[in-house]
């Protein structure tokens, strides 16, 4: 992956520009952690980049990143910039620059400030390596100003502390305390991206402890009081009661609602597993403190996995009861479904017929 990424740098430099890998990839490389996305910064402008890469995707917003995909890896390429002025927590004046240094000083933390040149050398202008070795999240420049400019950085500090298991520097701690309330000015979209990374971390307990210790739960509008940690982040989101605030996909909304209705019922039996599926019931099981193996075993022993497996056809039912088709048929099937799933009736044609004759 490193060689492929350096190839991209070489390609940009062949056209007369400077280019560096920057941010998370360099941090993770130094820490020997696997990285998935690569951020690149360059003095080439987006209009230059689309000439260099025929598969380049231009950003939607002004000053956004150009994206390219190469051998399954996503590269986000941004042009060196200075952020001249912030208003209402947004950079309102941005200017492209020719200087790597100016692009680096606008970044958030020392551990994210390292870059790598075309030969694979790490350029470490702000002691990123030292702070990684000390396991500390340190602001690049005055933390109070950085967090005031963009309060999302508060959540990013906690995200990196959580995923890397680092401590927060003193200056970062006081900067968070002073600016925490500005988190309410940040879009739910941006906040959710960072929260997802905290919730998905093996070290989630530490992340939530940090969030609570600064009362960020209040500014993030999260109800973190009695949270049960789940391996799937949807389980955590389900407990936070924020469906009306944070953005979720339609599928996520359905899953969260289903998790909540199972949790409300407090028990998980064959019917819940049949109705909601193994994925959703397993998450609910974690919240309820039910052993996942129990759920897996129940699922494996379900008499049927879908309505289609019910061992009698509509024609057979009509013949058996000598009735005309109507709404009653689907009601009967629903009834059969429950009875078969809960093993009250065997999924055997004769047994089903016996049951129908007795009850309809
Ligand atoms: P990940 O491994 O999750 O991708 P990352 O550090 O690469 O972590 P990104 O969101 O991809 O994080 O951002 C890339 C780089 O851009 C960061 O390392 C940092 O240098 C800079 N950056 C990102 N967001 C901000 C911000 N809000 N303020 C200042 N610099 C930022
Ligand atoms: Mg990144």
Q: Does residue 72 contact residue 146 with C-beta atoms inside 8 Å?
A: no
329-339 pLDDT, tens per residue? 999 999 999 99
218-274 pLDDT, tens per residue? 999 999 888 999 999 999 999 998 999 999 999 999 999 999 999 999 989 999 999
CB atoms under 10 Å from CB of 120, counted, come to 13
Shared domain for 166 and 46, answered yes or no, is no
Q: Is the pLDDT of residue 160 over 90?
A: yes
Query: What range does the domain containing 101 cover?
Result: 1-132
Ligand 1 proximity of 145 Cβ (cutoff 6 Å): no
168-184 pLDDT, tens per residue? 999 999 999 999 999 99
Kindly state whether residue 244 falls inside one of the protein's structural domains.
Answer: no
Q: What is the pLDDT of residue 85?
A: 82
Shared domain for 18 and 118, answered yes or no, is yes
Shared domain for 4 and 128, answered yes or no, is yes
Phi, psi of 65, deg, nearest 5: -95, 145
- Which residues sit opposite 20 in a β-bridge? 41
Shared domain for 12 and 104, answered yes or no, is yes
Shared domain for 12 and 100, answered yes or no, is yes
User: What is the 107 CA–ligand 1 centroid distance (Å)?
Assistant: 8
Domain count across the chain:
4
Q: Is the pLDDT of residue 51 over 90?
A: yes
Shared domain for 97 and 202, answered yes or no, is no
Q: Provide the mean pLDDT of the chain.
A: 94
Section 296-323 average pLDDT = 93
Tell which of 72, 105, 132 closes a domain: 132
Whole-model pTM: value is: 0.90
User: What is the 25 CA–ligand 1 centroid distance (Å)?
Assistant: 10
Tell which of 210, 227, 244 closes a domain: 227
Q: Is the pLDDT of residue 105 over 90?
A: yes
Q: Any idea what the CATH number is for the domain that residue 187 is in?
A: 1.10.110.30
- Which residues sit opposite 10 in a β-bridge? none
Of the ranges 84-88, 124-128, 285-289, 315-319, which one carries the lowest mean pLDDT score?
84-88
User: What is the 157 CA–ligand 2 centroid distance (Å)?
Assistant: 14
Ligand 1 proximity of 112 Cβ (cutoff 6 Å): yes
Shared domain for 30 and 2, answered yes or no, is yes
User: Which residue from 156, 153, 243, 142 is spatially nearest to 207, judged by alpha carbons?
Assistant: 156
Q: Which of 83, 112, 160, 192 to mutate to test ligand 1, by most ligand atoms within 8 A of the CB atom?
A: 112
Q: Band of the pLDDT at 86, cuts 50, 70, 90?
A: confident
Shared domain for 61 and 171, answered yes or no, is no
User: What is the 207 CA–ligand 2 centroid distance (Å)?
Assistant: 19
Write out the two tokens for 144.
Answer: 């109070």
Q: What is the pLDDT of residue 238?
A: 96
User: Which residue from 145, 140, 180 is spatially nearest to 27, judged by alpha carbons?
Assistant: 140
For helices 233-240 and 188-200, the axis angle rounded to 10 degrees is 130
Q: Band of the pLDDT at 8, cuts 50, 70, 90?
A: very high
Q: What is the pLDDT of residue 83?
A: 83
Chain centroid, CA 338 distance in Å: 35
User: What is the 160 CA–ligand 2 centroid distance (Å)?
Assistant: 12
Kindly state whether residue 87 falls inside one of the protein's structural domains.
Answer: yes
Q: What is the pLDDT of residue 270?
A: 92
The alpha-carbon radius of gyration of the chain (Å, integer) is: 28
Shared domain for 78 and 144, answered yes or no, is no
Ligand 1 proximity of 150 Cβ (cutoff 6 Å): yes
Which residue is closest in CA terms to ligand 1's atom 18? 23
Kindly state whether residue 92 falls inside one of the protein's structural domains.
Answer: yes
| Element of type H or E holding 37 | strand 37-42
% of the chain residues with pLDDT over 90? 88
Shared domain for 76 and 99, answered yes or no, is yes
Q: Band of the pLDDT at 277, cuts 50, 70, 90?
A: very high
Coil vs helix vs strand at 67: strand
């Amino acid at each position: 992956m490193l060689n492929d990424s350096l190839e991209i740098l070489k390609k940009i430099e062949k056209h007369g520009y400077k280019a560096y890998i920057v941010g998370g990839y360099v941090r993770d490389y130094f820490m020997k952690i696997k990285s998935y996305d690569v951020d690149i910064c360059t003095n080439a402008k987006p209009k230059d980049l689309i000439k260099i890469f025929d598969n380049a995707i231009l950003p939607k917003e002004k000053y956004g990143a150009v994206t390219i995909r190469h051998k399954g890896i996503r590269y986000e390429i941004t042009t060196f910039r200075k952020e001249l002025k912030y208003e209402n927590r947004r950079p309102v004046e941005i200017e492209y620059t020719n200087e790597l240094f100016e692009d680096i000083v606008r970044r958030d933390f020392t551990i994210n400030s390292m870059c790598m040149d075309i030969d694979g050398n790490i350029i470490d202008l702000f002691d990123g390596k030292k702070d990684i070795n000390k396991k500390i999240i340190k602001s690049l420049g005055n933390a109070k100003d950085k967090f005031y400019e963009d309060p999302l950085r508060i959540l990013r500090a906690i995200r990196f502390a959580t995923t890397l298991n680092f401590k927060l520097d003193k200056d970062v701690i006081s900067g968070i305390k002073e600016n925490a309330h500005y988190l309410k000015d940040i879009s739910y979209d941006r906040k959710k991206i960072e929260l997802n990374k905290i919730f998905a971390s093996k070290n989630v307990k530490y992340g939530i402890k940090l969030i609570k210790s600064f009362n960020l739960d209040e500014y993030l509008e999260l109800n973190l009081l009695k949270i049960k940690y789940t391996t799937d982040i949807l389980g955590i989101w389900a407990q936070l009661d924020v469906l009306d605030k944070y953005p979720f996909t339609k599928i996520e909304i359905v899953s969260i609602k289903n998790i909540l209705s199972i949790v409300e019922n407090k028990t998980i039996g064959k019917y819940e597993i049949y109705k909601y599926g193994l994925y959703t019931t397993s998450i609910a099981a974690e919240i309820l403190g039910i052993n996942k193996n129990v759920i897996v075993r129940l699922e494996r022993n379900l008499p049927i996995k879908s309505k289609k497996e019910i061992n009698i056809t509509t024609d057979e039912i009509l013949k058996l009861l000598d009735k005309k088709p109507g709404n009653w048929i689907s009601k009967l099937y629903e009834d059969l479904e429950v009875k078969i799933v809960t093993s009250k009736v065997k999924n055997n044609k004769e047994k089903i017929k016996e049951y129908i004759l007795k009850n309809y």
